[in-house]
Amino acid sequence: MPGETDLHKTLKKEACRWLYRMGYRCIAAEVRLKPLGIIDAVGTGIFRPYHNYLFIAKDLPQVCFVECKASRSDFLRDCSDDGQMTLCMLERERNRKLKRRRGSSRLRRAVELGKFASCLLQPMANIHYVLAPTGILQKKDLPQRWGLLTYGEAGISVVVRPEWQECARTEFVESAIARTLTGDIYRADDRAINSVNRELFSQQSALAERIRSIRPQVVLAPVPGVAAAREIAQAR
């Protein structure tokens, strides 16, 4: 993303690697989910009995969101105060009444919340983590239901386990991951073509420079009569 720091890029890569180690198999970074915005790292998967987050005796599909925060100020930008949350709940109640009265499924939204609160009010994941460098965040700083991952010299460590949240939008999240990965493939192809074109252009420029550096040389062909007379004179 434009204006992104190297630390934030590293956190996103490490988050995707951590999701894979945890057993998630459908993983992508910078997944765009319309109600929530862009989630830094998303993973989905079906976990075996007793190997899932709830340790229950059946297969359990899981969706995990990881938000990467390179600094404390970056973390605070996505936090919402209690007043905004209250207004949003009132707005949802008003929309519910309008839907029942008018039968319209299109709801208005005037109150904007931070990403952490939006993920709770628009549940699309079962597990939510904040990933930050070691020492930036503490347990008391976390939003409700969110867990904490820290990144240091030893890699990623789980500091606070999040609370499980029920959601029924797994297919929607997986389709968003598919769109993200498809877009990455096409962008990678474009970058590869551009790099090949740049290489060909540099080679052609070097060849043209070598051709321009060659100076023409005039070679005079010997005249037959003069050459024969010269040979006779040398023989005498």
128 occurs within a structural domain: yes
CA dihedral 24, 67, 122, 165 (to 10 degrees): 50
pLDDT band at 59 (very low <50, low <70, confident <90, very high): very high
**What length does the chain have?**
236
Cα–Cα nearest to 7, from 77, 65, 67, 68: 68
Q: Can you list the alpha helix ranges (DSSP code H) found in 38-163?
A: 72-77, 82-102, 115-121
Q: Which of 108-112, 114-118, 119-123 has the lowest mean pLDDT?
A: 108-112
Q: Which domain holds residue 156?
A: 6-79+114-187
Nearest to 125 by CA among 145, 111, 150: 145
Q: How many CB atoms lie within 10 A of CB 202?
A: 10
Measuring CA to CA, how many Å separate 208 from each of 8, 48, 113, 155, 216?
A: 43, 63, 59, 50, 15
Q: Has residue 146 got a pLDDT over 50?
A: yes
With a cut of 70, say whether residue 96 has pLDDT above it: no
Assigned domain for 220 exists: no
Please identify which residue in the block is written with the tokens 């252009």: 201
Q: Who has greater pLDDT, 123 or 142?
A: 142
Predicted TM-score of the model (pTM):
0.72
pLDDT in tens, 150-205: 999 989 999 999 999 998 788 999 999 999 999 888 888 787 778 777 787 788 88
Please give the Cα distance from 156 to 230 (Å, whole number).
90
Q: Give the confidence band of 112 by pLDDT, cuts at 50, 70, 90.
A: low
Is residue 99 pLDDT above 70, yes or no? no
Place 107 in a pLDDT band, splitting at 50, 70 and 90. very low
User: Domain for residue 225, yes or no?
Assistant: no
State the maximum Cα–Cα separation within the chain, in Å, rounded to a whole number: 127
Domain total in the chain: 1
Q: Is residue 134 part of a domain?
A: yes
Nearest alpha carbon to residue 64 among 5, 24, 94: 24
Q: Which of 13 and 114 is assigned the larger pLDDT?
A: 13
Q: Is residue 227 part of a domain?
A: no
- pLDDT band per the 50, 70, 90 thresholds, residue 94: low
Residue 217 has pLDDT above 60, yes or no: yes
Residue 10 lies in a domain: yes
Q: In the structure, what pLDDT confidence band is assigned to residue 110 with cuts at 50, 70 and 90? A: very low
196 in a domain, yes or no? no
Interval 122-144 mean pLDDT: 92
Q: Is residue 231 part of a domain?
A: no
